[in-house]
């Protein structure tokens, strides 16, 4: 079914270059029947959720993606303007932001995947966030980590905490594709790359 926007009585248009914190008043007015978490925690049925939207800077990836623009300096400069703006932060800022994630969180929601875990982009590079991966080592109660961002590695896998330690040490042969394990164990963390696409179906998990 195709949505005809002309038939809608009310429309909300958000300028794409607004900073995320400029949406606060809009969120309060529109999101009346749900909970929006931005660097915040919320407990549901005894499970502590924490969500944070920030991603690593992407200038180098954007240059690769739009390689045909490399010989046009003005275009490359436009790409570089994405760094340290909108949802994108440098490594130092990300480390500070993610240090606020409570160590007793059960379910973590981020936009970017952790480094080496379901993070292969279309060029075959690991584009996950090193700062998120480092923080996972402190989350001793973590059961599920939900993220998106990298559409080419949509899927899920169960990893033992020891596997996360291996990823943190940048083990070269770490499995970033489909998991070889099909059933969770008591010390597993479920990682879900739920990057949205029209061809992908949602995941359902019993927690």
Q: How far apart are CA 29 and CA 20, in angstroms?
A: 15
Cβ–Cβ < 8 Å for 125, 156:
no
Extents of the domains making up the chain: 36-55+91-193
Q: How far apart are CA 206 and CA 204, in angstroms?
A: 7
Q: Which residues contact 119 (CB under 8 A, 6 or more apart)?
A: 113, 126, 127, 128, 150, 153, 176, 193
Q: Which residues contact 106 (CB under 8 A, 6 or more apart)?
A: 47, 48, 49, 141, 142, 143, 144
CATH code given to domain 36-55+91-193: 3.60.21.10
What pLDDT was estimated at residue 93?
A: 92
Q: What is the pLDDT along the chain (207 residues), one digit of tens a residue?
A: 343 444 444 444 444 445 555 666 777 777 778 777 889 999 999 999 999 999 998 777 777 766 655 566 566 667 677 777 778 888 899 999 999 999 999 999 999 999 989 998 877 888 899 999 999 888 989 999 999 988 888 899 999 888 887 776 653 344 334 443 444 556 899 999 998 777 777 777 777
Q: How far apart are CA 118 and CA 176, in angstroms?
A: 5
Specify whether the backbone of 9 is left (phi greater than 0), alpha (psi in -120 to 50) or beta: alpha
What pLDDT was estimated at residue 190?
A: 94
pTM of the model: 0.74
SS3 189: strand
DSSP secondary structure string for all residues of 37-55: -SSEEEEETTEEEEEE--E
Antiparallel, parallel or unpaired: β 55-56 and 47-52 = unpaired
């Amino acid at each position: 079914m195709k949505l005809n926007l002309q038939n809608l009585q009310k429309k909300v248009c958000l300028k794409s270059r607004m900073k995320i914190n400029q949406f606060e008043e809009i969120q309060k007015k529109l999101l009346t029947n749900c909970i929006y978490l931005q660097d915040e925690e919320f407990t549901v049925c005894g499970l502590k959720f924490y969500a944070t939207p920030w991603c690593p800077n992407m200038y180098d990836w954007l240059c690769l993606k739009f390689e045909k623009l490399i010989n046009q300096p003005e275009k490359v400069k436009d790409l570089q303007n994405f760094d340290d703006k909108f949802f994108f932060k440098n490594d130092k800022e990300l480390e500070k932001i993610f240090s606020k994630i409570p160590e007793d969180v059960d379910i973590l929601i981020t936009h970017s995947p952790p480094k080496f875990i379901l993070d292969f982009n279309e060029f075959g590079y690991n584009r996950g966030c090193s700062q998120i991966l480092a923080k996972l080592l402190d989350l001793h109660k973590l059961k599920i980590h939900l993220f998106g961002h990298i559409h080419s590695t949509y899927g899920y896998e169960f990893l033992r905490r020891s596997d996360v330690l291996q990823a943190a040490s940048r083990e070269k042969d770490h499995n970033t594709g489909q998991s070889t394990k099909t059933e969770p164990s008591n010390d597993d963390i479920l990682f879900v790359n739920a990057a949205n696409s029209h061809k992908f179906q949602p995941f359902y998990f019993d927690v």
